[in-house]
């Protein structure tokens, strides 16, 4: 089953989790994971697959967001059905996390916005990197 990586909102409530990390060796190396989102009484789960380098770029971007070098970081997985955007409000230090899930079958999408802060970013990056290394 492996490690579960979680990200919390400003109230400490788990909003995003990544679990079941696995690697598909090859050129390039792909990482698969299960993404779970929670919003009030709703939850959404989907399998994601992205190149290992995309996860590395996402983690590097999050660290730059944490250090105020960048204001926005994006992550999408290969079939573009999921898009995460982390936006930093430099005045308050809050992070707005926008999640868009696209459903090609029904030609619709779901957009959720969370508010968090920087205190969870470094831990999130460390946990993602550890989960990938140990997958």
pLDDT score for 25? 81
DSSP label of 67: T
Question: pLDDT tens per residue, the chain (135 residues)?
Answer: 568 899 888 888 888 899 998 888 888 888 889 888 888 777 888 888 888 899 899 999 999 999 999 999 999 876 667 889 999 998 998 999 998 887 777 677 878 889 998 888 888 899 998 888 887
Domain total in the chain:
1
What is residue 56's three-state secondary structure? Answer: helix
Task: List the beta bridge partners of residue 17.
Answer: 6, 36
Q: Is the pTM of this model over 0.75?
A: yes
pLDDT score for 106? 67
- Contact between 118 and 89 under an 8 Å Cβ cutoff? The reply is no
DSSP label of 120: G
Checking phi first, is residue 26 left (phi over 0); if not, alpha (psi -120 to 50) or beta? left
pLDDT score for 40? 78
Distances in whole angstroms, Cα of residue 120 to Cα of each of 26, 36, 65? 32, 17, 12
CATH number, domain of 93, equals 2.30.31
Q: Return all residues near 41 (Cβ < 8 A) that are at least 6 apart.
A: none
pLDDT score for 3? 81
Determine the structural domain holding residue 64 and report its residue range.
5-133
For the CA atoms of 14, 16, 19, 22, what is the dihedral angle to 10 degrees?
A: -150
Task: List the beta bridge partners of residue 85.
Answer: 74, 98
Give me 120's structure tokens: 């969870």
């Amino acid at each position: 089953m492996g490690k579960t990586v979680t990200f919390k909102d400003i109230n400490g409530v788990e909003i995003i989790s990544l679990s079941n990390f696995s690697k598909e060796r090859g050129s390039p190396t792909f990482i698969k994971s299960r993404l779970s989102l929670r919003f009030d009484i709703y939850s959404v789960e989907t399998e994601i697959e992205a190149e290992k380098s995309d996860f590395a770029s996402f983690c590097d971007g999050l660290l730059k967001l944490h250090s105020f070098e960048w204001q926005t970081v994006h992550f999408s997985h290969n079939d573009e059905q999921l898009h995460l955007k982390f936006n930093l409000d430099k005045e308050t230090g809050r992070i707005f996390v926008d999640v868009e899930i696209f459903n090609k079958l029904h030609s619709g999408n779901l957009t959720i916005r969370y508010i968090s802060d920087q205190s969870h970013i470094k831990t999130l990056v460390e946990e993602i990197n550890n989960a990938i290394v140990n997958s």
